Amino acid sequence: MTVDLRSDTVTKPTPQMRAAMADAEVGDDVYGEDPELNTLEAEVAALLGKQAGLFVPSGTLGNQLGLRLLAQPGQEIVCDVMAHIARAELGAAAAFSGITFRTWHSARGVTTHEDVAAIIAPNAGPYLVSTAAIALENTHNFGGGTLQDPVEVAKIVDLARANGLALHLDGARLWNAHVATGTPLAELAEPFDTVSVCLSKGLGAPVGSVLVSTREKIAEARVWRKRYGAGMRQAGILAAAGRYAIKHHVERLADDHVRAARLAEGLGADPDAAPTNIVGLNVEDAARVAAAAAEQGVLVSALGPRFLRLVTHLDVDDAGIERAIAVLRPLMATA
Ligand SMILES: Cc1ncc(COP(=O)(O)O)c(C=O)c1O
């Protein structure tokens, strides 16, 4: 059987999740009449300590609506150079919202207030691009599932407030940060004006993310969502999967974290290489290792010429981890 460690997005809905989807009471969400969806949005907003939520089909759209709310065309948002919003959303902020980015380099995406302080330019006048917002990512995907340091986040929040800047959080895997640190979701989300969380990564739902913010901002995001063509009708079927995932698949993320640590250890990596469910490995020839492993039924992502990413999730068990170690270890030794 294939062991697919390319991403935590590859999971299939469980039979119980499918049953919840089949049972969902639905309506037309463009009219605001889908009860399951309305409940999901309210539940996620409450979990994250915000006034309102908006269901969107992807993490990318959750982020993009958040950024859209916090910056005007011609302004900039600052973020880490490896942030998903800057690197992997295909220029959406520029293409749709006229927003530019400037970025800092930080070790594995874990940002310090010095990183941010060095580049912000609030109210930059008629010569420079004005910074409108600071965006962080927790956990950090391309950093290898790293956790933002709460002490630094607090200092970044102070910096934002002192300079009149807004804050966006790409919390695609905020659930993992919550489980890894024991910090309540609402506390992790508290300082941010807009937060996007994904249901279709570690939580295992087939589709969907939720953007949370104030009631006013979410009303505005609802208009932009429709304008972008992502108004949905009987999407309660999808919301039911999300609600099931939140109820049953959050605490079990701890198992994914243990398995990622075992993977890192089994492959001779630094134990810090896997703080949550992502293992980042440096190898001589990432594409060659990924291709050779795939021939033996172990799928991993070559995200750079020398960088492999392995992600644990709902559909990989202990036996799969041991199989991946057995296949990858000799390949890494010769890569
Ligand atoms: C940190 C982060 N943010 C946002 C996204 C975008 O999610 P989606 O693929 O649902 O657009 C991803 C996807 O992997 C991600 O890892």
DSSP track, 165-220? -EEEEEETTHHHHHHHH---HHHHHTT-SEEEEESSSTT--SS-EEEEE-HHHHHH
- Nearest-CA residue for atom 7 of ligand 1: 59
pLDDT, one tens digit per residue, over 193-215 is: 999 999 999 999 999 999 999 99
pLDDT number for residue 333:
76
- Nearest-CA residue for atom 16 of ligand 1: 141
59 lines ligand 1 (CB under 6 A): yes
pLDDT number for residue 335:
54
Pocket test for ligand 1, best of 8, 56, 64, 84 (most atoms within 8 A of CB): 84
Report the sign of the C-alpha dihedral through residues 279, 280, 282, 286, in that order. positive
Q: Is pLDDT at 250 greater than 80 in this prediction?
A: yes
3-state helix, strand, coil in the chain (%, to 5): 45, 15, 40
Give the distance (Å) from ligand 1 centre to CA of residue 84: 7
Q: Is pLDDT at 40 greater than 70 in this prediction?
A: yes
pLDDT number for residue 272:
78
pLDDT, one tens digit per residue, over 95-151 is: 999 999 999 999 999 999 999 999 999 999 999 999 999 999 999 999 999 999 999
Pocket test for ligand 1, best of 7, 11, 58, 198 (most atoms within 8 A of CB): 198
Pairing of β 301-304 and β 209-213: unpaired
- pLDDT exceeding 90 applies to what percent of the chain? 96
**CA 153 to each of CA 26, 111, 114: distance values in angstroms, whole numbers, following the listed order:** 39, 8, 11
Give the distance (Å) from ligand 1 centre to CA of residue 241: 18
Distant-in-sequence, close-in-space partners of 311: CB < 8 Å, separation ≥ 6: 5, 6, 7, 8, 145, 260, 277, 278, 279, 301
- 172 and 84 Cβ atoms separated by less than 8 Å: yes
Pocket test for ligand 1, best of 7, 60, 81, 196 (most atoms within 8 A of CB): 60
- 20 and 331 Cβ atoms separated by less than 8 Å: no
Give the ligand 1 atom nearest the CA of 61.
11
170 lines ligand 1 (CB under 6 A): yes
End-to-end CA distance of the chain: 24
| 280 bridge partner residues | 309
**CA 111 to each of CA 86, 120, 295, 309, 312: distance values in angstroms, whole numbers, following the listed order:** 15, 14, 38, 20, 24
196 lines ligand 1 (CB under 6 A): no
pLDDT, one tens digit per residue, over 210-241 is: 999 999 999 999 999 999 999 999 999 999 99
pLDDT number for residue 117:
98
Give the ligand 1 atom nearest the CA of 57.
10
What mean pLDDT comes out for the span 306-324? 97
Instruction: Give the mean pLDDT of the chain.
Output: 97
Q: Is pLDDT at 13 greater than 80 in this prediction?
A: yes
pLDDT number for residue 283:
92
Give the distance (Å) from ligand 1 centre to CA of residue 172: 6
**Phi/psi of residue 55, nearest 5 degrees:** -80, 135
Q: Is pLDDT at 34 greater than 90 in this prediction?
A: yes
pLDDT number for residue 270:
82
pLDDT, one tens digit per residue, over 260-276 is: 999 999 999 887 789 99
pLDDT number for residue 26:
98
Q: Quote the tokens at residue 153.
A: 């986040």
Q: Is pLDDT at 326 greater than 60 in this prediction?
A: yes
pLDDT number for residue 334:
65
